Homo-oligomer: A and B are copies of this chain.
């Protein structure tokens, strides 16, 4: 093992090593993407040895640059680079893609130097934009963000949300590198080797764009230097050869995503095994992230009986929490006057980020901010969280911690119609690994639960309603995540009604009506949909002869009803689900609930039937 100087001639040799190790790792694994790694090896080594500033011994150093492989399938190259800088050894390199290895098929933050999981294309650049924004607006540190993109993934619209946003915020601390190796998985990309096509689009968006030969070390080096001084976000569009260095696979179709045909021959062709080291430069400053001033602020409270929309309570509570905690950041997709995150924006303007109508970029920014320890709160309509579902899924793999609030849940929004109604949102967020799903029914509960969500790990989803609902809980009531609240119970209940959010109020009214029929209904506010309160639900089912009625303003699949069914799967209970079953149109909120049979009358009818037949 020799530690090399970082002059460009010797870096050419290190690039060969990266290629050799990419080929070896994929060969040992029997799978992986060596050809996509070979094309970018020169770009990677010049960056790592001469421009990237990172202390591999201290990945938490806030002054470290950030490097994201947006083309996550080039993981063999990334891991080869980690070996070249001494972060991993050759034995570990050869654990690539094996059970228990940190070197997964696509990079994930089980490795301390990986910020976020990539592998779903089109996500690394938006997250890089979020990190660059974080450096400018929140951390206020001089780190740079570097992101290696594939040419195929430039077809993803999320990449262009990122281009737009970076230009709008003038993120001159961001450099994107596009590895234009011409070939996607199945054939030529839309633009092939037309590097000017990418450059023209980037320039139109306001970026500085440089085209280079991605195998010319000097040109690459010059481009990186120009990127750091352009005063604008810069993209280096590099023409490269897929499979570079191994004649059998160079610029050939049908060679994507598989080991090379003959690993030993390829290693020999690349100059054979070697074990040299480069040292990444450490950050030259020792600055601390910006700390925002805080102030005393009480959580808002409301009087029982007041009529308040939970979205309003969310906005007020978020503003209060933001004033007293300097690490909270709010993001909205240009609907802050609907979600009420505008109240945060007014209270704490420095920590409000307007993401415009670009939900993917918004979620990507949240993922980026939590990498640096900020506590992001994303707000949009519940329906429009669907736009970022792939980012949410990937965020779980990133072990990301952030909160999403979806307003305008369900048919209860009324006249706007189904395009604006969140009716699949609970199903989607429940299915996200490690998630929390909360659906409060009144203002005090919303504020109390929001305060509990701040420091919880994972992706947390808070669902709010558009319309006003009565405050039913006193301001000092405590709510714990994973619990439910029994709102009404007797020693001789005939049926248990499980509701959340807007249907809690309908369930209470239904219970009142049912007393006229001599039916005693237990009513449970199941505000914590995930995790769910198995104990309270089990007790309630038992106390009501196993008769359980769930009521939700959501489609039947994957929502509250199925969460309750899962909770009660092991006990004697007969569960009937009321949910949104017909495609809604426009109507008043009251009509909408009635048409779907989830208003007080519908619940009472179903409860009577359940009691009569069971």
Q: Does A569 contact B (CB under 8 A)?
A: yes
**A356 CA to B155 CA in the complex, in Å?**
7
Asked, given contacts A185-B335, A562-B562, A575-B569, whether A418 binds B397 with beta carbons under 8 Å apart, the answer is: yes
| Nearest B-chain residue to A32, judged by Cβ | B415
**A106 touching B419 by the CB < 8 A rule?**
yes
Give min CB distance, A100 to chain B, whole Å: 7
Chain B proximity mask over A303-322: 1 for CB below 8 Å, otherwise 0: 00000000000000000000
**A287 CA to B20 CA in the complex, in Å?**
60
Asked, given contacts A155-B161, A357-B156, A393-B386, whether A570 binds B566 with beta carbons under 8 Å apart, the answer is: no
Task: Write out the residue numbers on chain B whose beta carbons fall within 8 Å of the beta carbon of A490.
Answer: none
Asked, given contacts A152-B357, A558-B562, whether A424 binds B418 with beta carbons under 8 Å apart, the answer is: no
**A383 touching B393 by the CB < 8 A rule?**
yes
Asked, given contacts A108-B585, A157-B156, A387-B120, whether A189 binds B397 with beta carbons under 8 Å apart, the answer is: no
**A595 CA to B99 CA in the complex, in Å?**
10
**B583 touching A574 by the CB < 8 A rule?**
no
Number of copies of chain A assembled together: 2
Q: Does A232 contact B (CB under 8 A)?
A: no
Q: Does A54 contact B (CB under 8 A)?
A: no
Task: Write out the residue numbers on chain B whose beta carbons fall within 8 Å of the beta carbon of A104.
Answer: 417-418, 585-586
Report which of B117, B157, B419, B430 forms a contact with A159, defined as CB distance below 8 A.
B157
Q: Does A456 contact B (CB under 8 A)?
A: no
Task: Write out the residue numbers on chain B whose beta carbons fall within 8 Å of the beta carbon of A184.
Answer: 334, 356-357
**A383 CA to B118 CA in the complex, in Å?**
13
| Nearest B-chain residue to A580, judged by Cβ | B433
Q: Does A416 contact B (CB under 8 A)?
A: yes
**A417 touching B106 by the CB < 8 A rule?**
yes
Q: Does A377 contact B (CB under 8 A)?
A: no
Give min CB distance, A570 to chain B, whole Å: 6
Task: Write out the residue numbers on chain B whose beta carbons fall within 8 Å of the beta carbon of A577.
Answer: 566, 569
| Nearest B-chain residue to A550, judged by Cβ | B569
Instruction: Report the stretch among A138-146, A198-206, A365-373, A495-503 that lies at the interface.
Output: A198-206
Contact residues, A167-205 vs B (CB, 8 A): 168, 184-187, 189-190, 200-201, 203-205
**A431 CA to B422 CA in the complex, in Å?**
11
Chain B proximity mask over A531-571: 1 for CB below 8 Å, otherwise 0: 00000000000000000000000011111011101100111
Q: Does A29 contact B (CB under 8 A)?
A: yes
Instruction: Report the stretch among A266-274, A336-344, A475-483, A509-517 that lies at the interface.
Output: A336-344
**B157 touching A360 by the CB < 8 A rule?**
yes
| Nearest B-chain residue to A582, judged by Cβ | B433
Report which of B101, B431, B558, B585 forms a contact with A586, defined as CB distance below 8 A.
B101
Q: Does A121 contact B (CB under 8 A)?
A: yes
Give min CB distance, A159 to chain B, whole Å: 7
Contact residues, A339-375 vs B (CB, 8 A): 342, 354, 356-361
Asked, given contacts A342-B186, A356-B184, A383-B393, whether A105 binds B156 with beta carbons under 8 Å apart, the answer is: no
Asked, given contacts A105-B415, A415-B105, A591-B99, whether A576 binds B569 with beta carbons under 8 Å apart, the answer is: yes
Q: Does A98 contact B (CB under 8 A)?
A: yes
Chain B proximity mask over A145-167: 1 for CB below 8 Å, otherwise 0: 00000001101111111001000
| Nearest B-chain residue to A345, judged by Cβ | B186
Q: Does A423 contact B (CB under 8 A)?
A: yes
Contact residues, A577-601 vs B (CB, 8 A): 577, 583, 585-588, 591, 595
**A430 CA to B433 CA in the complex, in Å?**
18
Q: Does A390 contact B (CB under 8 A)?
A: yes
**B558 touching A557 by the CB < 8 A rule?**
yes
Report which of B105, B157, B390, B566 forms a contact with A565, defined as CB distance below 8 A.
B566
**A219 CA to B459 CA in the complex, in Å?**
50
Task: Write out the residue numbers on chain B whose beta carbons fall within 8 Å of the beta carbon of A556.
Answer: 566
Give min CB distance, A500 to chain B, whole Å: 15
Contact residues, A372-421 vs B (CB, 8 A): 383-384, 386-387, 389-390, 392-394, 396-397, 414-420
Q: Does A85 contact B (CB under 8 A)?
A: no
Q: Does A110 contact B (CB under 8 A)?
A: yes
**A431 touching B335 by the CB < 8 A rule?**
no
**A434 CA to B418 CA in the complex, in Å?**
14
Q: Does A31 contact B (CB under 8 A)?
A: yes
Task: Write out the residue numbers on chain B whose beta carbons fall within 8 Å of the beta carbon of A595.
Answer: 99
Interface CB pairs A-B, < 8 A, 25 = A99-B591, A99-B595, A105-B420, A105-B586, A108-B419, A120-B419, A155-B161, A155-B356, A157-B158, A157-B358, A184-B356, A189-B356, A204-B204, A383-B390, A387-B389, A427-B428, A427-B431, A431-B558, A433-B583, A556-B566, A558-B558, A558-B562, A562-B565, A562-B566, A569-B575
* Extra 11 A-B pairs, beta carbons < 8 Å, given A201-B204, A389-B390: A104-B585, A104-B586, A105-B416, A117-B418, A156-B157, A157-B161, A185-B334, A185-B338, A204-B204, A557-B562, A570-B574
Closest 6 CB pairs of A and B: A157-B157, A119-B419, A558-B558, A99-B587, A427-B431, A204-B204
* Chain A contact residues, CB within 8 Å of chain B: 29-32, 72, 96-101, 103-106, 108, 110, 117-122, 152-153, 155-161, 164, 168, 184-187, 189-190, 200-201, 203-205, 334-338, 342, 354, 356-361, 383-384, 386-387, 389-390, 392-394, 396-397, 414-420, 423-424, 427-428, 430-434, 530, 555-559, 561-563, 565-566, 569-572, 574-577, 583, 585-588, 591, 595
